[in-house]
């Protein structure tokens, strides 16, 4: 039993933080749910409302993009508001457990900043069990569907 040292799937739940390049603008924490299939990225994110006026406490967005080797590029489209998407590009590091990058919004009066997001380290025993059929009624014995 040990720590998985191979690249892991990028699909799953991520937590992160984004920052603004403009002085005086606070960043915020966010959560993202990613699904990767054939180098295509889809998913969603949820973050506190840091820029809309009104009673909206949280903002949700759809994510869509692609991955090529260690590069990730996606658009973040906020739901329920009329706003152009945020363009995000980054690098996948730490064997698929961290993504660091930059975001851009509102061309030509561009706003920008940085973001980072990470996942927990996956235990190799748990990873194996998740990809196979675990049957608790057999005392947790791992079986395959061959």
The verdict on residue 71 lying in a domain is yes
Position of tokens 């014995």? 141
Q: Are the CB atoms for 61 and 43 separated by under 8 Å?
A: no
Q: Calculate the average pLDDT of the chain.
A: 82
- Give the number of domains in the chain: 1
Rounded mean pLDDT, 113-142? 59
The pLDDT tens digits of the residues spanning 66-120 come to 999 999 999 999 999 988 999 999 999 999 999 999 999 987 778 899 999 999 6
pLDDT of residue 109: 78
pLDDT of residue 44: 98
Whichever domain contains 114, its CATH number is 2.40.128.120
The verdict on residue 146 lying in a domain is no
What is the domain range of residue 71? 12-120
Dihedral sign for Cα atoms in the order 68, 72, 86, 77 = positive
Chain-centroid distance, C-alpha 67: 12
Q: List all residues 6 or more positions away from 2 whose beta carbon is below 8 Å from its beta carbon.
A: 123, 124
The verdict on residue 38 lying in a domain is yes
Consecutive H or E run containing 130: helix 124-131
**pTM assigned to the model:** 0.75
Which of 37-41, 75-79, 133-137 shows the lowest per-residue confidence on average (mean pLDDT)?
133-137
The verdict on residue 2 lying in a domain is no
Alpha carbon distance 83, 79 (integer Å): 9
Q: Which band of pLDDT confidence, cut at 50, 70 and 90, is reported for residue 122?
A: low
Higher-confidence residue of 66 and 141: namely 66
The verdict on residue 125 lying in a domain is no
């Amino acid at each position: 039993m040990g720590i998985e040292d191979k690249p892991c799937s990028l699909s799953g739940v991520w937590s992160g933080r984004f920052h603004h390049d403009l002085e005086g603008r606070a960043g915020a924490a966010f959560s993202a749910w990613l699904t990767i299939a054939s180098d295509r990225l889809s998913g969603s994110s949820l973050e506190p409302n840091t820029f809309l006026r009104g009673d909206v406490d949280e903002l949700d967005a759809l994510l869509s993009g692609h991955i090529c080797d260690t590069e990730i590029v996606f658009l973040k489209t906020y739901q329920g508001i009329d706003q152009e998407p945020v363009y995000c590009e980054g690098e996948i590091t730490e064997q698929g457990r961290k993504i660091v990058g930059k975001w851009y919004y509102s061309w030509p009066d561009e706003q920008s900043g940085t973001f980072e997001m990470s996942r927990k380290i996956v235990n190799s025993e748990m990873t194996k069990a998740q990809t196979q059929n675990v049957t608790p009624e057999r005392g947790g014995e791992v079986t395959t569907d061959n």
